[in-house]
Amino acid sequence: MLKKRAFIKIVPFFLIVFFFLNYKNKNSNESYYSLNDKIAFNSSSKIKWIVVTSISEPTEQCKKLSSIPDFQLVVVADKKTTNTWHLDNTIFLSVSDQESLKFKSIKTTPYYSYTRKNIGYLFAIQNGAQFIYDTDDDNAPTVNINEYFNFKENDYGLVYDCSVESKILNPYAHFGQPQIWPRGYPLSEIEKNYNNSYVSGRRKCSIVQQGVVNGDPDVDAIFRLTKSMEYRKIDLYFDPSSPAFQIPLYKMSPYNSQNTLISYRGFWSLYLPKTVTFRLTDIWRSYWAQRLMWLINETISFNGPNAYQLRNAHNYLKDFNQEKSMYLQTEKFVDFLFKWRCKHSKFYLCMLQLSEDMVKKGFWLEEEVESIKNWIHDLTKVGYKEPIIVNYENKEPIYVKCEHKLGDFDQTQIRYTPNFQKSLDSINYGTEINENFQTLNYFQSECNKFNIDLNYSSKINSTESKLKFNFSILITFNHEPYEKNIVILDLLYKNHFQNVIFCGSRILDKLAQVRGLRKKFDSYNFIQMINFGSGDHHYLCMSKAIEMGFKTDGFLLLSDDILIKFWNFKKFDSTKVWYPFDLILGTVMDANLKLPWVHWPNVRNLISLWKVLEGMVGENLDNTETKIVKEYLRIIDSNQAFVGNGTKVKGAGSDIFYVPKIKFESCYYMTNMMRKYGVYLELAVPMLMAGLENNQSVQIMNGHFEWFGRALDFVSLYQKIDFYHPFKLSTIVNENPGKQYCKFYLYEYFSNSF
């Protein structure tokens, strides 16, 4: 009897033991050391973090991400990720690690969900992050992101013009692909033309900086279904020379959670909502965050291509289904955000109010609010300071009016046009317009008037021009430019220089009727100067071009009335300064000198500027400005003709000079100083060049300055020089010198360039 009853007791005992053992070793195959050892081991007080999620073995891109200097990679696991995931100098947060972090968000973050990344963000913030690079484990940048992104508080560059009426901006159009649109972009905006007006000037760095990617950029399922072709990968490129640009307040643009840098002041905006589909969570986050940024005067900005992304084709119809509510709701969501007002004067209260109102409108579900509460709680717990509201919406007038303080020293109006890249349709269907063809066609029909054949038909086959410089050309107009001259100069230079930029006064609206017709865009790059006089400070255009942030090897500045045989410039070194004269400074900087030069009295301004420079060096502060001025004065001294008797200067023709990329920063600073003190161009430019380059390494351009109005002698003088000034384009209309212009200049241009 006993045996039977005992037996009954033993069985459950065994069960419990077996169960306990089982539970124990599940735990033990945990990564072999506990969470804290991992943190201590890896993070050497790094302030830049990379947060990704991964459900597979360490990918190639993951390895690359882990070896980026100064960045600490943290990988947030999900239930599917094997716990033996390991990669050196990478922190791997397994599911149990995450649970041990004791964040309230753990309870409200679902498993098998991309939004587990929120825990990774909190972990990084907790461990001293000042910058978080948000990306995925299938995407690694091909450039050094320490240089690519901007880690400063303030900088200078392009800001989209807030007076343009469209609410949502298409960053892909800015980078040269106006025919495509990013995932999350409202469908009804696709047909609209892109209004390419900006301002250039000082700006507060954006808290979110997103980089676009070449190859297979982030587009929605509708794009993939309607534009991709069988057996063909999407292989698109953006203009590598395009400057980054900032979205102003009261405008928006969708951004995703790939290739994006978020700075400390923006960490609150990292929260990924969990009650929308995977294809929507980062887009909904971007619109939600940008509305809240208006309260704290913060912005987002986009930067040029810095990575090549390959995606393997999968069932786009499934994506289409997942993105369905995005297509239908984005319009309403954006309209709602533009009408929404915050009733509170504390930022987190506004964040919760917005999240609750979004629930009422059905943009996401009720549980999102509680999850955001936990997110706020954890942020404060890890020591993150709550942002302070700047533009209160519960008191006086709601919107800060959009007005740019225009003045050459404040903000300058810009019309920027990228180099349009091959559109997907032209790649797929060979409807490519041959850009060279337009130039060949135009000049041949002009020269037909003087029946000069530029043996154009033999050039017709060249699709690529054989003459290509990696620097950009900057053309200044002393007086209001004629449209015909802009067209001629643009056609002449655009196939050979990285960018063609025109700078002058009353230029912004020139050739505006082309707006919207071609590729939804209004072509040409115009910098609108204000107090420009008749070009006596045209050197300021150089600082404007640098300020805009083109990614180019250098800028060749020349006035519109210079004839240049640019095919002869291949011999010059594009990392050095070019100038038509030597840089030996031999004239003593003394206002009372009697010189035959009418503008010499302007040297007084130069003298007062010199006092300021020498004063700065005297103070010997350790800031960038002082470093620039010290270096500048050092090079000036190295170019002095003889020692003693004060600093010598030089006056010379300044209608053409070239500044390389490495000298941009000091050139920008010194040019602005020259302009502030009103130094006349034929003094300012030589003094600038002499402060940037030593006389031994300056590239001297051989050309002719004609001061006495004699016409250019094409037969003899023309053969010996590389440039001639002045040569008025308006004169080529009539027989002379039109015929010679065709016969000599254009003929030589065609044979050298195509």
Contact 355, 330 (CB under 8 A): no
Rounded least distance, CB 68 to other proteins, Å: 36
3-class DSSP state for residue 704? strand
Contact 173, 421 (CB under 8 A): no
Closer to other proteins by CB, 513 or 608: give it: 513
Helix axis angle, 324-339 to 281-293, nearest 10°: 10
Residue 431 makes contact with other proteins by CB under 8 A: yes
Contact 725, 485 (CB under 8 A): no
Closer to other proteins by CB, 332 or 630: give it: 332
Rounded Cα gap, residues 340 and 354, in angstroms? 8
Tell me the backbone φ, ψ of residue 407, rounded to 5 degrees.
175, 145
CB atoms within 10 A of CB 546: 24
Rounded least distance, CB 234 to other proteins, Å: 11
Rounded Cα gap, residues 443 and 750, in angstroms? 10
Contact 563, 723 (CB under 8 A): yes
Instruction: List the structure tokens of 443.
Output: 């000049």
Of positions 225, 388, 398, 406, contacts other proteins by CB under 8 A: 225
540 to 569: interface string for other proteins, x by CB under 8 A = ------------------------------
Closer to other proteins by CB, 335 or 625: give it: 335
Instruction: List the structure tokens of 554.
Output: 């250098």
Closer to other proteins by CB, 6 or 225: give it: 225
Of positions 123, 223, 288, 579, contacts other proteins by CB under 8 A: 223
Which region among 88-96, 129-137, 186-194, 542-550 touches other proteins (by CB under 8 A)?
Answer: 186-194
Which region among 155-163, 205-213, 222-230, 633-641 touches other proteins (by CB under 8 A)?
Answer: 222-230
Question: Of residues 432-461, which lie at the interface with other proteins (CB under 8 A)?
Answer: 432-434, 437-438, 441-442, 444-445, 455-458, 460-461
Rounded least distance, CB 463 to other proteins, Å: 8
Rounded Cα gap, residues 56 and 80, in angstroms? 8
Rounded least distance, CB 442 to other proteins, Å: 8
Buried/exposed 149-174: b ≥16 CB within 10 Å, e otherwise = bbbeeebbbbbbbbebeeebbbbbbb
Rounded least distance, CB 450 to other proteins, Å: 16
Which letter does DSSP use for residue 731 in this model?
Answer: G
The one-letter amino acid at 273: P
Rounded Cα gap, residues 41 and 90, in angstroms? 10
Closer to other proteins by CB, 62 or 454: give it: 454
Kindly report the length of the chain: 754
Rounded least distance, CB 394 to other proteins, Å: 33
Which region among 39-47, 94-102, 185-193, 264-272 touches other proteins (by CB under 8 A)?
Answer: 185-193
Rounded least distance, CB 139 to other proteins, Å: 24
Closer to other proteins by CB, 515 or 739: give it: 515
Which region among 405-413, 431-439, 643-651, 655-663 touches other proteins (by CB under 8 A)?
Answer: 431-439
Residue 226 makes contact with other proteins by CB under 8 A: yes
Rounded Cα gap, residues 293 and 660, in angstroms? 37
3-class DSSP state for residue 170? coil
Rounded least distance, CB 141 to other proteins, Å: 30
Rounded least distance, CB 429 to other proteins, Å: 5
Which of these, 539, 489, 532, lies nearest to 511 by C-alpha position?
Answer: 489
Which region among 1-9, 32-40, 223-231, 573-581 touches other proteins (by CB under 8 A)?
Answer: 223-231
Rounded Cα gap, residues 337 and 213, in angstroms? 28
Which region among 10-18, 51-59, 108-116, 515-523 touches other proteins (by CB under 8 A)?
Answer: 515-523
Closer to other proteins by CB, 437 or 597: give it: 437
Give the CA distances from residue 224 to residues 84, 150, 231, 427, 570, in Å, rounded to whole numbers and listed in that order.
Answer: 36, 32, 13, 15, 43
Question: Of residues 61-80, which lie at the interface with other proteins (CB under 8 A)?
Answer: none
Residue 398 makes contact with other proteins by CB under 8 A: no
Beta strands in 8-125 (DSSP E): 48-53, 71-76, 90-93
Rounded Cα gap, residues 111 and 121, in angstroms? 16
Closer to other proteins by CB, 316 or 677: give it: 316
Residue 426 makes contact with other proteins by CB under 8 A: yes
Residues 6+ apart with CB under 8 A from 544: 200, 408, 412, 503, 527, 529
Of positions 147, 153, 165, 191, contacts other proteins by CB under 8 A: 191
Half-sphere exposure (Cβ direction) of 312: Cα atoms closer than 13 Å: 1
Rounded least distance, CB 325 to other proteins, Å: 11
Half-sphere exposure (Cβ direction) of 582: Cα atoms closer than 13 Å: 8
Residue 179 makes contact with other proteins by CB under 8 A: yes
Rounded least distance, CB 464 to other proteins, Å: 13
Contact 194, 178 (CB under 8 A): yes
Rounded Cα gap, residues 355 and 359, in angstroms? 6
Half-sphere exposure (Cβ direction) of 384: Cα atoms closer than 13 Å: 28
227 to 266: interface string for other proteins, x by CB under 8 A = -xxxx-----------------------------------
Rounded least distance, CB 361 to other proteins, Å: 17
Total residues interacting with other proteins, rule: CB under 8 A: 51
Residue 516 makes contact with other proteins by CB under 8 A: yes
671 to 700: interface string for other proteins, x by CB under 8 A = ------------------------------
313 to 342: interface string for other proteins, x by CB under 8 A = ---xx--xx--x--xx--x-----------
Residue 430 makes contact with other proteins by CB under 8 A: yes
Instruction: List the structure tokens of 657.
Output: 């000079």
Contact 754, 466 (CB under 8 A): yes
Contact 94, 79 (CB under 8 A): no
Rounded Cα gap, residues 519 and 422, in angstroms? 11
Closer to other proteins by CB, 187 or 588: give it: 187
Of positions 31, 42, 67, 193, contacts other proteins by CB under 8 A: 193
Rule CB under 8 A: which residues touch other proteins?
179, 187-188, 190-193, 222-223, 225-226, 228-231, 316-317, 320-321, 324, 327-328, 331, 423, 425-426, 428-434, 437-438, 441-442, 444-445, 455-458, 460-461, 514, 516-520
